[in-house]
Structure 1
Amino acid sequence: MSAEAGAEAGAEAGASGPVVGRLSFLDRFLAVWILLAMAGGLGLGRLVPGLGDALAKVTVTGVSLPIALGLLVMMYPVLAKVRYDRLDTVTRDRRLLFLSLVLNWIVGPALMFALAWVFLPDLPEYRTGLIIVGLARCIAMVIIWNDLACGDRQAAAVLVALNSVFQVLAFAALGWFYLDVLPGWLGLEQTALDVSVWEIARSVLIFLGIPLLAGFLTRRIGEKARGRAWYEAELIPRIGPFALYGLLFTIVVLFALQGDAITSKPLDVARIALPLLVYFALMWAGSMAAGRAAGLGYPKTTTLAFTAAGNNFELAIAVAIATFGATSGQALAGVVGPLIEVPVLIGLVHVALAARRFFPRPAPTAEPAVSPEGPAHAV
């Protein structure tokens, strides 16, 4: 059997094992690192008076330079992992492409908009922050969840690439629609937004466009110089952890600035978490049902569900900081996001593996009963 088939068979065989045990040490305890970063940031804010003024002295599009660097660092490794040359493999699967676009760019933002208004009608800053989270489609940890749940790895990489490109093109327009236009149409109280579409677009272009270009060039140059095998096996494992380092650094700084708001309003943090929990559950379950009804099969349906349910909190945090400030409620809503997403999606990996029995298994390919490598595996 080929190396790729062997890897797939190994994933299938290992699916019954503990999901968390298959994560790397850093990823396995991601929720713990986030909690520690939050605690460290709170302590730093109390120990260093005037930290906010110091961080605000040098800015990039309204974002303090340390935070801007942290945001760029945490976005770059994720986008360097994407296989940009495989976009055509998913575009040929019209059902998967159609469902992914509808779920990610119509259903997801609309659902988060509705939940934000239902759960946070009296907290406009947090409500706006959640709407921004709903517009930032997942391009990061989804690859890990998809792999743990034995989803289609190639389809996940391609959908991540499509989401990356689409966010650059559509995020600003959707932000303007959901934050300004739609509330007016529905007769809802509009938040006073002293921000233009261009300001949102500029944040997206900087904090997504720059790492997207860097990730694309890194893969293009690296594969051309040393080959794909070296790039995937050697370079990616070296730069991959920097996404987590950048995220944790950003959280430390944000919580240093947000300390008073967090410690004085713990119930607000809980209220931010509740609509996020509902969002993940509804998006994931709905996407699994849609993929099952469309006959995509378990691997692609699982990929569809995790790419639709996850969110790009890195981008949401970047846009919220650049647009509303590091100490804003919008930024806090983005920071709470990954703390909720990580344990919830790990739990949904278990649910996905248990749900495989409801999907028909693909027919085994015709192979010799016995080969030098042993019996063939039907994956």
Structure 2
Amino acid sequence: MGVFERYLTLWVALCIIAGILLGQAVPALFRLIGEATLAEVNLPVALLVWLMIVPMLLKIDLGALGQVRAHWRGIAATVAVNWLVKPFSMALLGWLFIGGLFRAYLPAEQIDSYMAGLILLAAAPCTAMVFVWSNLVDGEPHFTLSQVALNDLIMVVAFAPVVGLLLGLSSITVPWNTLLLSVVLYIVVPVAMAQLWRRAVLRQGGPAALERRLRMLAPLSLAALLLTLVLLFGLQGDQIMRQPLVIALLAVPILIQVYANAGLAYWLNRRLGVAWCVAGPSALIGASNFFELAVATAIALFGFQSGAALATVVGVLIEVPVMLSVVQIVRRTRPWYERRAG
């Protein structure tokens, strides 16, 4: 594991601090970046998202879908949590906490927008950082690969309808043109680009050439993630500094959702008799979010200064340390898991 992955929490924290400080020091520059849009899509964010996820999507072999049958129980548990539980449970948690218990402490005009951001965060399972989390729990690589490939295909067709349904249930107007454009830009195009690139590299140099390319691009992908954090926290830093209570309250449903879904996926795998090396990454995939897509879509749908964008940025803020804690829980409970599952 490289220095970036080993100290990821530290780099994330430093980029958050740098973004907030730069946003305060040169606000005009960040306003200029925020206004660089085309068809409601922010171009710098789009570029950074592509740089972030295309190299990671290069790892995904859609041919791995043939291995789904070998791990069907783990796949079934993860898909159920990702698509039948997570988006709907987040909508419920948002309604309970943001729309109910915490309503009096939040800006009334942003309640619906916060709800939308939480829904966007939960509606797309993680496809990039999952490889890092799976590696940290010694996960079965073929399972991780086939699960991510399947999630990508499901996301192409399910993300927009699920988001549209839940936003509609929350009485939030859905700008369908922008939502569908976001799906094309941040799911369809990167997946297609990565698969074409992958095939070209394999055709020219085989698996060894692909491995070399992946090693070369890994720092670029993580550097794009860190630059995205600087940009987002530079744009949102003023709100974060002025509204620490809002940040803390938005974090509550996100934290509950992460731990509850990780626990549910882990428990389902144990009940189904799945090996720990599959249950570990299944729990992590069930818990983590494709926050790059959530942030980009929130910005496209509602704008940089919206409550939706802020809610997704809170997801970014806590994603890495929370997922690292889930990794530790999964690793430390391995004896308990295998005592009965075996």
TM normalised by structure 2 equals 0.90
Q: Provide the rounded CA distance (Å) in 1 between the counterparts of 2:222 and 2:233.
A: 16
Q: Secondary structure at the match of 1:227?
A: helix
Amino acid of the structure 2 residue aligned with 1:349: V
Q: Does the C-alpha gap of structure 1 residues 146 and 57 become closer, same or farther in structure 2, counting only changes over 3 Å?
A: closer
Residues 90 and 96, structure 1, Cα contact 8 Å, conserved in 2 = no
Return the offset for 1:333: 1.5
Residues 87 and 119, structure 2, Cα contact 8 Å, conserved in 1 = yes
Aligned to 1:272: 250
Consecutive unaligned residues of structure 1, counting only runs of 5 or more, are: 1-22, 184-189, 363-379
Q: 198, 204, 211: which is aligned to 2:183?
A: 204
Residues 133 and 334, structure 1, Cα contact 8 Å, conserved in 2 = yes
Return the offset for 1:114: 1.4
Compare the two structures and name the one with the higher helix fraction: 2
Q: Provide the rounded CA distance (Å) in 2 between the counterparts of 1:206 and 1:63.
A: 9
Aligned to 2:204: 225
Q: Secondary structure at the match of 2:126?
A: coil
Residues 54 and 194, structure 2, Cα contact 8 Å, conserved in 1 = yes
Q: Does the C-alpha gap of structure 1 residues 256 and 360 become closer, same or farther in structure 2, counting only changes over 3 Å?
A: closer
* 1:163 equivalent in alignment to 2:141: no
Structure possessing the higher radius of gyration over alpha carbons: 1
Amino acid of the structure 2 residue aligned with 1:31: T
Q: Provide the rounded CA distance (Å) in 1 between the counterparts of 2:16 and 2:34.
A: 20
Q: Secondary structure at the match of 1:81?
A: coil
Aligned to 2:95: 117
Residues 63 and 326, structure 1, Cα contact 8 Å, conserved in 2 = no
Alignment of 1:17-36 (within 5 A): 23-36=1-14
Return the offset for 1:229: 2.5
Return the offset for 1:92: 4.8
Q: Does the C-alpha gap of structure 1 residues 337 and 56 become closer, same or farther in structure 2, counting only changes over 3 Å?
A: closer
Aligned to 1:330: 308
* 1:149 equivalent in alignment to 2:137: yes
Q: Provide the rounded CA distance (Å) in 2 between the counterparts of 1:141 and 1:222.
A: 22
Q: Secondary structure at the match of 2:75?
A: helix
**What do you get for the CA RMSD once the two structures are aligned?**
2.0
Range with bigger deviation, 304-313 or 350-359: 350-359
Amino acid of the structure 1 residue aligned with 2:264: G
Aligned to 1:133: 121
Q: Provide the rounded CA distance (Å) in 2 between the counterparts of 1:278 and 1:344.
A: 11
* 1:97 equivalent in alignment to 2:101: no
Amino acid of the structure 1 residue aligned with 2:149: A
Q: Secondary structure at the match of 2:333?
A: helix
What per-residue deviation string (whole Å, max 9, x for no partner) do you get for residues 304-341 of structure 1? 21111111001101111111112222112212213312
Aligned to 1:73: 51
Q: Provide the rounded CA distance (Å) in 2 between the counterparts of 1:259 and 1:332.
A: 10
Return the offset for 1:49: 4.1
Q: Provide the rounded CA distance (Å) in 2 between the counterparts of 1:60 and 1:77.
A: 24
Q: Provide the rounded CA distance (Å) in 2 between the counterparts of 1:211 and 1:203.
A: 11
Range with bigger deviation, 32-41 or 136-145: 32-41
Aligned to 1:174: 162
Q: 330, 335, 340: which is aligned to 1:352?
A: 330
Residues 60 and 68, structure 1, Cα contact 8 Å, conserved in 2 = no
Amino acid of the structure 2 residue aligned with 1:223: L
Q: Does the C-alpha gap of structure 1 residues 91 and 285 become closer, same or farther in structure 2, counting only changes over 3 Å?
A: same
Q: Provide the rounded CA distance (Å) in 1 between the counterparts of 2:138 and 2:235.
A: 40
Amino acid of the structure 2 residue aligned with 1:245: A
Return the offset for 1:109: 0.8
Q: Provide the rounded CA distance (Å) in 1 between the counterparts of 2:305 and 2:216.
A: 33
Residues 77 and 243, structure 1, Cα contact 8 Å, conserved in 2 = yes
Aligned to 1:8: none
Return the offset for 1:285: 0.9
Aligned to 2:233: 255
Aligned to 2:194: 215
Q: Does the C-alpha gap of structure 1 residues 231 and 158 become closer, same or farther in structure 2, counting only changes over 3 Å?
A: same
Q: Does the C-alpha gap of structure 1 residues 56 and 357 become closer, same or farther in structure 2, counting only changes over 3 Å?
A: closer
What per-residue deviation string (whole Å, max 9, x for no partner) do you get for residues 271-315 of structure 1? 122222111111111111100101112112122211111110011
Q: Indicate the structure whose relative CO is greater, using CA pairs within 8 Å and at least 6 residues apart.
A: 2
Q: Provide the rounded CA distance (Å) in 2 between the counterparts of 1:221 and 1:168.
A: 23
Amino acid of the structure 2 residue aligned with 1:280: V
What percentage of aligned pairs have identical amino acids?
35
Q: 302, 306, 313: which is aligned to 2:280?
A: 302
TM normalised by structure 1 equals 0.82
Q: Provide the rounded CA distance (Å) in 2 between the counterparts of 1:165 and 1:60.
A: 27
Q: Provide the rounded CA distance (Å) in 2 between the counterparts of 1:318 and 1:72.
A: 11
Q: Does the C-alpha gap of structure 1 residues 239 and 322 become closer, same or farther in structure 2, counting only changes over 3 Å?
A: same
Q: Provide the rounded CA distance (Å) in 2 between the counterparts of 1:134 and 1:57.
A: 27
Consecutive unaligned residues of structure 2, counting only runs of 5 or more, are: 104-110
Amino acid of the structure 2 residue aligned with 1:120: I
Amino acid of the structure 1 residue aligned with 2:76: F
Amino acid of the structure 2 residue aligned with 1:134: A
Return the offset for 1:167: 1.1
Q: Secondary structure at the match of 1:139?
A: coil
Amino acid of the structure 2 residue aligned with 1:281: Y
